[in-house]
């Protein structure tokens, strides 16, 4: 009787269930973190409604909840694909009557989550936090400084749209294609092209923002013996415009590349150098 009940569970999960699951995931992914299991509570909470549908027997439901309370941590937006894959696999487990197959399938779910959370976090952090979000904020900052209220809201609007469009698509794709979906993405090489492309665009934008916000000039004027004066800034601009800001940006870049991102140390060095050079009239 129990076998027939489990066998009937497949096909119960709808697109609405998957969408509700990813909404719950995003609502709590970054708010229920703890040192022991990180995002496990949020992940388990996002699947609770679906697991109740799949496992009407309390013993099976308890086992399913316990396996999703193990340590889990990934990037929330792209991590939605893991939710979709897990739902598809849980649906298969619920329809399985053979105990050995069910045991191996549950082990597959746990192993797949552990194996995917790192690569998915790397992709999500690179694209979202490392590239797209800084670009959006960087584009909006000049307009905000000029008093644009809409520009101040655009990063928030972008994040909401990005979450509901991109993450919903990934969650549904993960559910529809199962574990093969993310494997195809990771093995196809397309994701590396996307990251490289956005990375180059990000560098382009960082260069544009550096040219816009890094303002360094020198008031130095050299007077020759014949009474002629040479304006150092005009001379430098005649050779390479904005050469001083370029040199400062590249100096910071090479320091980070060689010694690491010690941002507080860099900030203090810039402040001290700026005060000293301004005091002596060099900059």
Say yes or no: 168 and 226 in one domain.
Answer: no
Long-range pairs of 214-220 with CB within 8 A, sequence gap ≥ 24: 214/245, 214/248, 214/249, 215/245, 216/244, 216/245, 216/248, 216/283, 217/244, 217/283, 218/244, 218/282, 218/283, 219/281, 219/283, 220/281, 220/282
Say yes or no: 50 and 158 in one domain.
Answer: yes
Say yes or no: 25 and 161 in one domain.
Answer: yes
For residues 89 and 108, is the Cβ–Cβ distance under 8 A? yes
Of the three residues 167, 187, 207, the one that is the final residue of a domain is 187
In this structure, of 48-52, 186-190, 207-211, 272-276, the range with the lowest mean pLDDT score is 186-190
**How high is the pLDDT of residue 1?**
37
Say yes or no: 265 and 165 in one domain.
Answer: no
Say yes or no: 181 and 219 in one domain.
Answer: no
User: Confidence band (pLDDT; 50, 70, 90) for 9?
Assistant: very low
For residues 181 and 93, which has the higher predicted lDDT (pLDDT)? 93
Of the three residues 137, 171, 187, the one that is the final residue of a domain is 187
**How high is the pLDDT of residue 163?**
75
How many structural domains does the chain have?
2
Report d(CA 270, CA 214) in Å as an integer.
12
Is the pLDDT reported for residue 94 higher than 70?
Answer: yes
What rounded mean pLDDT belongs to the chain?
78
* Average pLDDT estimate for 1-30: 69
In this structure, of 30-34, 47-51, 180-184, the range with the lowest mean pLDDT score is 180-184
Q: Residues 109-144: pLDDT tens digits?
A: 888 888 888 878 877 877 787 778 888 887 888 888
Q: Return the residue matching tokens 């140390």.
A: 265
Angle at 244 between CA 235 and CA 198, to 5 degrees: 130
Alpha helices in the chain (DSSP H): 2-7, 15-28, 40-54, 58-67, 80-95, 99-124, 133-145, 149-162, 168-177, 179-188, 190-213, 232-239, 243-259, 263-279
Q: Is 57 helix (H, G, I), strand (E, B) or coil?
A: coil
What is the CB neighbour count within 10 angstroms for residue 86? 26
- Nearest Cα to Cα of residue 168 among 6, 17, 5, 13: 17
For residues 119 and 186, is the Cβ–Cβ distance under 8 A? yes
Report d(CA 168, CA 255) in Å as an integer.
40
Domain span at residue 177 reads 2-117+151-187
Is the pLDDT reported for residue 4 higher than 50?
Answer: no
Say yes or no: 35 and 104 in one domain.
Answer: yes
In this structure, of 43-52, 83-92, 186-195, the range with the lowest mean pLDDT score is 186-195
Q: Residues 169-200: pLDDT tens digits?
A: 888 888 877 655 555 555 555 555 655 665 66
pTM: 0.61
User: Confidence band (pLDDT; 50, 70, 90) for 205?
Assistant: low
């Amino acid at each position: 009787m129990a076998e027939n009940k489990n066998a009937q569970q497949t096909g119960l999960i709808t697109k609405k269930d998957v969408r509700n699951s990813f909404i719950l995931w995003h609502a709590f992914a970054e708010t229920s973190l703890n040192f022991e299991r990180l995002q496990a509570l949020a992940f388990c909470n996002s699947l609770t409604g679906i697991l109740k549908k799949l496992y009407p027997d309390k013993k099976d439901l308890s086992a399913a909840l316990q396996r999703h309370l193990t340590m889990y941590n990934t990037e929330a937006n792209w991590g939605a694909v893991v939710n979709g894959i897990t739902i598809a696999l849980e649906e298969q487990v619920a329809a399985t009557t053979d105990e050995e197959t069910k045991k191996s399938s549950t082990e597959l779910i746990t192993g797949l989550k552990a194996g995917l959370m790192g690569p998915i976090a790397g992709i999500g952090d690179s694209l979202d936090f490392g590239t797209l979000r800084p670009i959006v904020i960087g584009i909006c900052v000049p307009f905000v400084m000029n008093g644009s209220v809409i520009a101040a809201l655009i990063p928030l609007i972008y994040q909401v749209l990005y979450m509901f469009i991109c993450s919903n698509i990934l969650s549904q794709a993960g559910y529809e294609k199962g574990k093969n979906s993310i494997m195809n993405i990771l093995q196809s090489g397309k994701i590396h092209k996307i990251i490289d492309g956005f990375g180059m665009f990000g560098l382009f934008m960082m260069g544009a923002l550096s040219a816009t916000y890094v303002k360094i000039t020198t008031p130095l004027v050299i007077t020759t013996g014949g009474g002629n004066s040479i304006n150092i800034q005009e001379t430098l601009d005649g050779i390479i415009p904005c050469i001083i800001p370029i040199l400062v940006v590249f100096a910071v870049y090479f320091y980070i590349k060689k010694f690491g991102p010690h941002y507080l140390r860099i900030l203090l060095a810039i402040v001290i150098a700026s005060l000293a050079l301004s005091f002596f009239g060099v900059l």
